[in-house]
Structure 1
Amino acid sequence: MHKSLSLLACLAVGFQTVVAQQPAKKPLDHSVYDQWQSVVNQKISNNGKYVLFQVKPQQGDGTLHLKTATNRTLRLVSRGDSALFSADSKFAVFSIKPQYQVVRQAKIKKKKPADMPKDSLGIYALESGKLTKYPNVRSFQLAEKAAAVAFLAVKPAVKDSLKKAPVDTVKKITDQLLETKKEGATLTVINLLTGTKRQFEAVTDYQISKLGNKAAFAVSAPKNSKTIKSGLYVYDLASGDVKLISSGKGVYKNLAFDDAGKQLAFAAEKHPEKALVKPFSLYYSDFGADSARVLVQPGAKVLKTGWSPSGFGKIIFSESGDKLFFGTAPDPIPQDTTLVEFEHAKLDIWNYKDDYLQPMQLKTLKKDLQRNYLAVIYPKQGNKFIQIEDQYLPESFVAELNDAEYVLATTDTSKRVSMQWEGTTLKQAYLVSTLTGERIAINPKAAKSRFQLSPNGKYAVWYDYASKNWFSFSVATRKTTNLTEKAGVSFTDEENDSPDDPQPYGISAWTKNDEAVLINDRYDIWKINPATGAATNFTNGVGRTNKLIFRYTIPVEKKKFIEPKDNLWLLVQNETNKQWGYYKKNIASTKSPQLAVMAPFGYSTLIQAKNSDNFLYTKSNVSESANVYVSSDLKKEKKLSSINAQQKDYNWFTAELVHWTTPKGFKATGVLYKPENFDPAKKYPMVVYFYEKLSDGLYKYTAPAPTPSRLDIAMFASNGYLVFTPDISYTIGAPGPSAVEYVNSGVDALKKNSWVDAAHVGIQGQSWGGYQVAYLITQTNMYAAAWAGAPVVNMTSAYGGIRWESGMSRQFQYEHTQSRIGGTLWEKPELYIQNSPLFSLPKVQTPVVIMSNDADGAVPWYQGIEMFTDLRRLNKPVWLLQYNGEAHNLVKRENRKDISIRELQFFDHYLKGAPAPVWLTTGVPAVEKGRNWGLDIPK
């Protein structure tokens, strides 16, 4: 025994020596961002045998992975992107992006768009392993149900033309094509199974049919060309025939085949170049005649006076091919060319009777100029025409199975002004017959509602905010049924803490033939008969009993409904411990759902192969990147990716739930992030970051990344900080005091631990969080440093401002949504003042950095100026970062990197005692702008 103990002691010493010799992990630094990877665009082939996904660094060249479902690598394609599998699971088609450094150099040289590096197209045969590439590709289309591809290349390699041309003529045409995009590019159409390939020149637009049997393309002939004729052509891939079905110069748009590839429709205008108004006509061909015929032209009797088919409306055949949906619109007003521009008055006229504020109108100007109204025509039935939408009824929803007779249309006409303070409008809904044009009113009085149409178009379903119930309207019986009133549970947000109607939990899916709709409550999913309202708890109450949140999304791409024998894989989160997983239940079963997997990971929604039981998904947790897995039962899984191997070299972090009770007795939850090398015998500075509720993200992987203005949790935790993210619940009328109630009490609870450096706690928040940072430092001096991104400090001035990114007034958010005051400025002025940090700024003792950008479209950036100038007037330590031309959250990566450096420098100085950089001490004068960024630490 003595010898054994001695041997164990020696082994233990030896083990300790090995451990001691291992190098300490490095803290993350700002050089690591670009290399950090993520997995995106994962897909599985229809037969379930092949998968693809991209591994992309934050900046640089990514790699497309082509693999078998058994994890055998078929091919790694550098810079592969936008990949698709062919319907027969025999090919993968993808673009190949130019090298990042090549594009970067082209930008440095300020090359014109036409001279920038171009994509290539890759076609990979999954069985043979053959990879074929085509250069200079502008776009590509893969037939939805066949192995056929079409792509447009800007530098044509002319082999096959509409007509054979002499070499010198081809060269001349090629040179012209390279000079201007208006004359198009080379279209290549390939039958991937036979290898048959055809090329056509001067193509401006194209469309391949779903079955891959035909390709349509528009040609704009180069000037003086004797070999190429402008018009719309159709190429038959089987016969090889090319047919000109509409001739003449002009604009051809919105090419659309029916599902069988036996009909084609498109919009075209062939007016003289100098015409002031160029309305479109709708053309149609069933390929029986020599040329396409005009179905509807400008001034047609079926149209309203002064209306024409729209060049911007989407053209779609119904599944049967009997109906053709398209858009109509008033003819544009011609511009007066006699007026001289510099003599024009330039102004915006705001009128109190306008439906929308002028900023909103200007934001939606392009969309409004392209606005069109849905109509349907029957080419095989004497061109019977029905106008579905109009200016009174401007929005509609066609059933997913679009041969349904009725279209759901809604209107908020005459109800729009109140959007300024309500944030939404009251709507009326109608079912409009595509056969007769009959309009059936669903709700006789405008109401706040959310509408949708069932897949087969048999029911209109909507959530009514006033009664907090879901309703259905039967097309057959014209009966309205309350679907949820007898269920005995709420189908709306049970935790709503805003002065507005609570939101519904939503609809998951429909079953075949519209027999049942699956509607969510807080925890469970209900299966409800839309005709009778008969409701059963599909998840058998397992959710509410066990605090499990069940949700469902159909996993098969483009599948519209649940089949009668489908097994449903239900995504679940445990509300208590925040774990994620999946349960399984057959749609026809009355038994409780069965647990498949539940783990301390975050799971993505499933992607299922169309003709296989294989699923593709990602899972991750705080220390493991989101990697790709394949499985048929979610128990036996195959890991297909393994990214960010470099993470093992860095000091990472852990995450844990923390709970406490607030001063008013509320139960509170948050997440505490600790460095991986956390030592309870040491003291750590702490940064508190918050935005509404964040604890559901306990198992979310957070990569180090240059921040748009939030706190980079990975960077701070790796560098020896505790990071605390408390959930906040709100009392209406007291958003500021609510932050005090939850944030400060959470910090106080954590400070009881000996390893929290109570004297060195900072706070950081962006937008709504930035407001709360500004408020908190007026109420307490417990924080050693604060960072407020895009804060509102004066609710009285912000109330009447504009959200410039949308053009909407800010009034609604104070009266009804996030700002939570619950009344107008003149109804509750005391609440606006009490919740505004501005009026308490003399109390501030905390050093604070403000980020407020001059192109902020959400918060008026003068709010940051008000905070800065007033604190400056009070001689408080304050800095303002104004990123030129930047938005509410930073977009440009160079700016994100810059603020990430400054944020860590700031907190390092005030929470760790590190030397202050120049921008904090002496600042950077305007004369040094662009030459000195002030990031240096003075020696």
Structure 2
Amino acid sequence: MRKHLLILWLFALTCQLAFAQDSPKPMSWKDVATWKSMPNSGFKLSPDGQWMAYVLTGIEVDGELILQKVADSASKKSFPIGNANFASFEFSENSQWIAFKEYPKFTEKQANEKAKGKPLKEKLHLIKLGTADKKTFEGVGGFSFNGEAATHLIINLPKEGNGEAKGADLLIYHLASGKSQNLGNVREHALNKAGTHLAYSVDAANSQGNGLYLLTLSNNSIQVLDSDEAGYQSINWTEKGDAFAALKLKKDKKYKQEKGTVLGVKNISNPQVTLYEPAKDSIGFDQKYTISPNRRPMWSEDLTRLFYGIHPLVLTEKETPKKELNKDSLAAAESVKIAKIMADTTIKSIADLQKAIAKLDTGKVSGKKSNDAKKPEMTIWHWQDDRLQSRQQVLESMDKNYSFWAMYDVASKKHIALQDSSMRDLSILPKEQFALGSDQQAYELDINLNGQMYRDYFIVDLKTGARTPLFEKFYQPSFASMPRPSTDGKKLLYGKDGHFYVYDLTAKTHTNISEKLPVSVVDVEDDHNVTKPLYNPLGWSSDSRYVLVRDGWDIWQIPMSAKETPINLTQNGKTQKIRYQYRFNLDPEEKGIDLTKPVYIRTYGELSKKSGIATLAPAKTGLTAGAKVLLWEDANIQGLTKAKKAAVYTFTKEKSNQPTQVFLGDATLGNAKQVTENAPDAGKFAWSSGVKLIDYVTTKGDSLQAALFLPANFVEGQKYPTVVYYYEKLSQTLHNWANPGYSGTGWNPTLYTSNGYAVLIPDIVYKMDDPGMSAVWAVLPAVDAALKTGVIDETKMGLHGHSWGGYQTSFLITQTNRFKAAAAGAPLTNMISMYDLIYWNTGSGNMSIFEASQGRFLGGPWDNWDAYERNSPIYHVKNVQTPLLMLHNDKDGAVDFTQGVEYYNALRRLKKPVIMIQYLGENHGLGKIENRKDYSVRMMEFFDHHLKGVPAPDWMTKGVPRLQLGDHLDERAF
């Protein structure tokens, strides 16, 4: 009997162990390192839509490329691509080939990093689709097929040696014959769209053979277009591929920059070269300028004009003209010296006299120091500087390299400067009849102070270069107001005073095109301190007859003809709370919205959180408007693409507990099938059991929503520890998959739900002058509403946010004691001191952010002291009872490190439980993988202790003395 019982017990134990091994487990932070998934842009279709490829990559694991026929899953093959941060793979235009790079393996990278060896080489693999043929090229750089022709594979080979020559080998592989040819010393190359011609420049040792060349790929013939002891660069083909422009640059010892020449090449079957040399145009070209290498030259569409950049020449120090000495002043100075020496009674000998002369000889002439005198390193900050000195430092390189557009008329052989320093920006409009110029220098100081955007606009005639004012002090509350051209280049759409207008460049008339709409196009949900911001328009139709705009819900088609009336193309957006958000651009080469074809639109249910894709029918007279729903699900659906040469469509779909997958279908997207196996190890881990959508009303009466992500293995009726996370409005992420990874903030909701936490993400809307209190008014009611679900354990709630969310966290714990732990990343803690600090990443001051952007204050602290103080965590620090973990890095270029230090020291002075983590040299978010790993683990340990009762590690209870930090980090590293 005992024997049978023992056998049954062993059998049960074996089954239990087997079940435990097979059942999904919580994902640990160590598991993240070897997690493989498909990155963004990690999927591609062949142009004919018959083949697909996607990559799976990981942080500390080697990736793979999956290749298969779309209709035949049995054809699937996997190829190793090494440890790739950004995988590189391309199909040929004729859909017969695929090329992809293989990077060094993770172990090779580790060993090389440890040995501090030379850069590891990469491989390129070429496969003929449908065959087992694979050719490998060793030690490569970039690659590309030759466009539409798809007859050659062009491969960059890394430059060998450190010589002055800028050229390297270019390998041209003939796909049909399998033969290779090598072009040496190629500095730059570019293929035309058809793939028939390769333009390239040579840059060799001692400039021998330098020049601009054209290779005809069909017969392998090479033509020398220009040759000189100069550098050739910036090759730029026309869109049609029937001509190209380039620059030739020569050194001139007199100047710091090279002097440039523009080359234009057209009639490529029998090349005709236009050469414009400013140095020989002393009448038409200001010789204080030269052609700039910092702007790519280009042909006009009709090949009659060349456009290029110019910038001022700067003399070298040797050539800088020296001011002539004033002989009278010099003589007077010498007389003063002699008088001083004669009056010096301490001179007793020749040696004393020499010392006295040396002492007086300070090297000053006319009050200026000689060149060998040391100069101080300093900055002068002046109150009337348009830009802060810190901003000038950030933009210094860009300012030095700034260039102005100019034009050369080939027939008249005339150069025309199109802009100067009084008009800093210029956009050449379609068809090159006009250009839109703008400048904000007159308002830049005020823009940097209060954030309200103004700009002057001009119209430039590209036939004559004549400039005509269009707007003076034009107000731009948002990007939507900026003028944007029609596809024919004859009209401009712009926003003003809550309406959209069209300016006719030929007739010079302004027309309000939105005043007849029965709805407003003002974004009433924008709660920043700006006046009448508009919803971004979808843009112009391809024939320039219509403009498509949004009212936040529906899409309206507005005609340019007064005989037609605006049409609501979608009809049900506002009534059913469906947002027709944006258009999928399925043709990268399109010019405007082609309304003769179905227009695909991304849809989103504001209250349901559903998403999908709909089409707008072609705009025809008498056609009944209304969107046709193709997909509409409780999921996050987006990323619609189309095969270039076939009616094969793909889109992505994901849920909060289902990794992103690619689906493939026809133009109706009906019966679409999943074609990827993203996150192949997903079945090994436990994910969130689902989501709940929470409706709530804020203290101020706003109706908002929150996303509640259930923990893995959720049991109805059981309560769970919960982390509340926020950043303005995020309830729209209800169906978003958060791919496991080490983020720059330590936060990943998927890891928390996998490990038994519920995650609540509420929306926050803001009231002016109360950014902190707005969080209190929104978050606490959201928590109250979520508690009614029975999911959240009220005694085990934590808070987390980063940056602006970190500010909300640091403020919330001064207003409530409901939360048992809080983690704040890079928080703003003193709105008064933060106002006057610098956003070092851009060099700009914070005041414009506080007044017109995220801060949402009316004016500065001096005029609004109570509001700034009321919303500053530091002034309510006595109220804090919640243990706080704070991340703040010493090189934070967004929220100054002193904000973290100020809050930490105040809490520490009051003996409040606070720990601040600082990673040396890190910015606003963590960049180094070792730091990301470390903080991700620490933050979860912090919440595990306070919300789950897990024993606290020593670093939390005792801290880590400086002398023991090295050992501590060694023990934790993984």
**After TM superposition, is the score higher than 0.5?**
yes
Contact 1:121 1:135 in 2 (8 A): yes
Equivalents in 2 of 1:876, 1:238: separation in Å?
77
Instruction: Tell me the alpha carbon deviations over residues 179-198 of structure 1, each in whole angstroms, 9 at most, x when there is no partner.
Output: 44735321123454565643
Moved more, 841-850 or 327-336: 327-336
| Structure-2 change in CA distance of 1:523 and 1:155 (3 Å) | closer
| Structure-2 change in CA distance of 1:276 and 1:394 (3 Å) | closer
The residue type equivalent to 2:555 in the other structure is I
Contact 2:213 2:222 in 1 (8 A): yes
Aligned to 2:110: 104
| Structure-2 change in CA distance of 1:690 and 1:31 (3 Å) | same
Aligned to 1:48: 49
Query: Matched residue of 1:815: which SS?
Result: helix
**Residue number among 540, 543, 553 corresponding to 1:523 in the alignment:** 553
Contact 1:662 1:741 in 2 (8 A): yes
Equivalents in 2 of 1:581, 1:290: separation in Å?
51
Aligned to 1:414: 442
Contact 1:509 1:554 in 2 (8 A): no
| Structure-2 change in CA distance of 1:582 and 1:366 (3 Å) | same
Contact 1:568 1:585 in 2 (8 A): yes
Q: What RMSD, in angstroms, separates the aligned Cα atoms of the two structures?
A: 2.8
Aligned to 1:740: 776
**Residue number among 443, 450, 454 corresponding to 2:471 in the alignment:** 443
Equivalents in 1 of 2:972, 2:265: separation in Å?
69
Contact 1:728 1:739 in 2 (8 A): yes
| Residue 82 (structure 1) shift | 2.6
Equivalents in 2 of 1:129, 1:320: separation in Å?
46
Equivalents in 2 of 1:687, 1:262: separation in Å?
60
Q: Does 1:452 align with 2:484?
A: yes
Aligned to 1:789: 825
Identity of aligned residues (%): 27
Equivalents in 2 of 1:529, 1:130: separation in Å?
55
Alignment of 1:416-815 (within 5 A): 416-423=444-451, 425-448=453-476, 449-464=481-496, 467-530=497-560, 532=562, 535-550=565-580, 551-588=582-619, 589-632=623-666, 633-653=668-688, 654-709=690-745, 711-752=747-788, 754-815=790-851
| Residue 857 (structure 1) shift | 1.2
Contact 1:790 1:852 in 2 (8 A): yes
| Residue 631 (structure 1) shift | 0.9
Equivalents in 2 of 1:336, 1:829: separation in Å?
55
The residue type equivalent to 1:748 in the other structure is D
List gaps (5 residues or longer) in structure 2: 1-11, 321-369
Q: Does 1:234 align with 2:214?
A: yes
| Residue 367 (structure 1) shift | 1.5
| Residue 598 (structure 1) shift | 0.5
Contact 1:571 1:580 in 2 (8 A): yes
Q: Does 1:304 align with 2:281?
A: no
| Residue 680 (structure 1) shift | 3.0
Instruction: Tell me the alpha carbon deviations over residues 160-191 of structure 1, each in whole angstroms, 9 at most, x when there is no partner.
Output: xxxxxxxxxxxxxxxxx434473532112345
| Structure-2 change in CA distance of 1:738 and 1:564 (3 Å) | closer
Contact 2:613 2:631 in 1 (8 A): yes
Aligned to 2:951: 915
Equivalents in 1 of 2:436, 2:542: separation in Å?
19
Equivalents in 1 of 2:779, 2:195: separation in Å?
59
| Residue 455 (structure 1) shift | 2.1
The residue type equivalent to 2:653 in the other structure is K
| Structure-2 change in CA distance of 1:262 and 1:524 (3 Å) | closer
Query: Matched residue of 1:678: which SS?
Result: coil
**Residue number among 199, 202, 208 corresponding to 1:216 in the alignment:** 199
The residue type equivalent to 1:421 in the other structure is L
Equivalents in 2 of 1:453, 1:129: separation in Å?
50
Q: Does 1:38 align with 2:20?
A: no
Contact 1:258 1:321 in 2 (8 A): no
How many residues are matched?
Answer: 891
The residue type equivalent to 1:454 in the other structure is S
| Residue 769 (structure 1) shift | 0.9
Moved more, 812-821 or 492-501: 492-501
Aligned to 1:6: none
The residue type equivalent to 2:113 in the other structure is K
Equivalents in 1 of 2:475, 2:833: separation in Å?
31
| Structure-2 change in CA distance of 1:259 and 1:841 (3 Å) | closer
Equivalents in 2 of 1:89, 1:474: separation in Å?
44
Contact 2:772 2:811 in 1 (8 A): yes
| Structure-2 change in CA distance of 1:272 and 1:442 (3 Å) | closer
Instruction: Tell me the alpha carbon deviations over residues 19-53 of structure 1, each in whole angstroms, 9 at most, x when there is no partner.
Output: 99565431111112121412432333333223333
Contact 1:136 1:153 in 2 (8 A): no
Aligned to 1:268: 248
Instruction: Tell me the alpha carbon deviations over residues 674-723 of structure 1, each in whole angstroms, 9 at most, x when there is no partner.
Output: 11311234331111111101111111011222121153211111111111
Query: Matched residue of 1:244: which SS?
Result: strand
Instruction: Tell me the alpha carbon deviations over residues 96-122 of structure 1, each in whole angstroms, 9 at most, x when there is no partner.
Output: 3332332332222223xxx31133333
Instruction: Tell me the alpha carbon deviations over residues 764-788 of structure 1, each in whole angstroms, 9 at most, x when there is no partner.
Output: 1111111111111111111111111
| Residue 508 (structure 1) shift | 1.7
Query: Matched residue of 1:895: which SS?
Result: helix
Q: Does 1:27 align with 2:38?
A: no
Moved more, 309-318 or 787-796: 309-318
List gaps (5 residues or longer) in structure 1: 1-13, 157-176
Equivalents in 1 of 2:884, 2:562: separation in Å?
60
Instruction: Tell me the alpha carbon deviations over residues 46-67 of structure 1, each in whole angstroms, 9 at most, x when there is no partner.
Output: 3322333322224433323333
Equivalents in 2 of 1:359, 1:805: separation in Å?
10
The residue type equivalent to 2:572 in the other structure is V
Aligned to 1:76: 78
| Residue 739 (structure 1) shift | 0.9
Q: Does 1:373 align with 2:353?
A: no
| Structure-2 change in CA distance of 1:634 and 1:276 (3 Å) | closer
The residue type equivalent to 2:64 in the other structure is T
Contact 1:36 1:703 in 2 (8 A): no
Equivalents in 2 of 1:563, 1:350: separation in Å?
52
Equivalents in 2 of 1:645, 1:565: separation in Å?
42
Moved more, 548-557 or 236-245: 236-245
The residue type equivalent to 1:876 in the other structure is K
Alignment of 1:94-243 (within 5 A): 94-111=100-117, 115-128=118-131, 130-149=133-152, 151-154=154-157, 177-180=160-163, 182-193=165-176, 197-222=180-205, 229-243=209-223
Moved more, 846-855 or 611-620: 611-620
The residue type equivalent to 2:714 in the other structure is F
Equivalents in 2 of 1:291, 1:592: separation in Å?
53
Equivalents in 1 of 2:838, 2:616: separation in Å?
48
Equivalents in 1 of 2:565, 2:52: separation in Å?
39
| Residue 547 (structure 1) shift | 0.8
The residue type equivalent to 2:384 in the other structure is K
Contact 2:567 2:625 in 1 (8 A): no
Contact 1:254 1:267 in 2 (8 A): yes
Contact 2:305 2:409 in 1 (8 A): yes
Alignment of 1:325-404 (within 5 A): 325-335=307-317, 343-379=374-410, 381-399=411-429, 402-404=430-432
| Structure-2 change in CA distance of 1:451 and 1:101 (3 Å) | farther
| Structure-2 change in CA distance of 1:285 and 1:531 (3 Å) | same
